[in-house]
Amino acid sequence: MNSASGWRVQTLLQGYPATSKQQGGLGWSTVALAHGPEGRIALLDTGRLGVRGRLLARLTEVGVSPAQVTDVLITHLHYDHCENWPMFPRAALHVGGAELDWAVAQPEGTPMLPEFTVRALAASPRLHRLAEGPTGLPGISCFEAPGHSPHHLVFVLDGSPPVIFSSDVAKNRAELATGKADITLNAAAHAASIARLRAVWAVHPGAVLIMGHDLPHVLDASGQPRAQGAHAMAIEAWLGEDLEERTVFELAPAPLR
């Protein structure tokens, strides 16, 4: 697709729908790259600090340097979605204004919020505060979907196909299917947001839904979500006395149908 006619989106880092017993949330969230009109290159969410090396490697693989990224769009201000915005020194930083105000007002030590990252973002001269509606970028709009955070945004990108970047509104297939979320500030509002997401998806024929902690999905002919691709996750562990001896834990389940 010629990006002059819309946005072309690819996943850089694959999200994964899991938590851990001892460490809590893994924070393995989806990061996507979009090429669009007027030569714009946008990053959709940025991941957590621990993925910086891998994120740089993936950008190199697709031929994009951090300095070439013109726009960073952040859905919400939990650590695993926003910590790496400083990697992109020339990018405009598009963040929900109400979400930012809420995050800045929270006390230090609030779970999920990287307070120093958030404060630096709020003070950045490159900040562009968003509200529901047009983002100011050609072919990208957004809407509020509260629950997981108070003012979580969903981005809708025109293209062939259209893309809905929903992040943690329904962060995995199970939440999308049930309409319920396991991490929420307001269960009723969150359920309504998932319902709105499904409705918006249904009126964008062929749209790809990119969730925060799962594979991209499309709607089949019967209107049911179908995963695209397969999980590709594993953990390498050093459990012995030799650095060359590694135990590999494969985390890729059977392909979803």
Q: Give 23-37 pLDDT, tens digit per residue.
A: 988 999 999 999 999
**C-alpha span between 225 and 208 (Å, rounded):** 10
Q: Is 185 helix (H, G, I), strand (E, B) or coil?
A: coil
Share of the chain above pLDDT 90, in %: 84
The tens digit of pLDDT for each residue in 75-91 reads: 999 999 999 999 999 99
Mean pLDDT of the region 53-68: 98
pLDDT for residue 104: 98
The burial class, CB within 10 Å (0-12 / 13-18 / 19+), for 60 is exposed
**C-alpha span between 147 and 144 (Å, rounded):** 10
Structure tokens at 88: 């992109």
- What pTM, to 2 d.p., does this model score? 0.94
CB atoms within 10 A of CB 188: 9
pLDDT for residue 94: 98
Comparing 7-16, 119-128, 237-246, which segment has the lowest mean pLDDT? Answer: 237-246
The tens digit of pLDDT for each residue in 168-220 reads: 999 999 999 999 999 999 999 999 999 999 999 999 999 999 999 999 999 99
Q: Share the mean pLDDT of the chain.
A: 94
pLDDT for residue 254: 59
Task: With beta carbons less than 8 A apart as the criterion, state whether 212 and 81 touch.
Answer: yes
Residue 1 has pLDDT above 70, yes or no: no
Task: With beta carbons less than 8 A apart as the criterion, state whether 47 and 87 touch.
Answer: no
The tens digit of pLDDT for each residue in 220-248 reads: 999 999 999 998 888 889 999 999 899 99
Phi, psi at 55, each rounded to 5° = -65, -45
pLDDT for residue 255: 56
pLDDT for residue 252: 79
Closest listed residue to residue 71, CA positions, set 7, 126, 6, 9: 126
> What is each CA distance from 128 to 73, 76, 91, in whole angstroms?
10, 14, 10
Structure tokens at 50: 């621990």
Mean pLDDT of the region 117-135: 98
Residue 2 has pLDDT above 50, yes or no: no
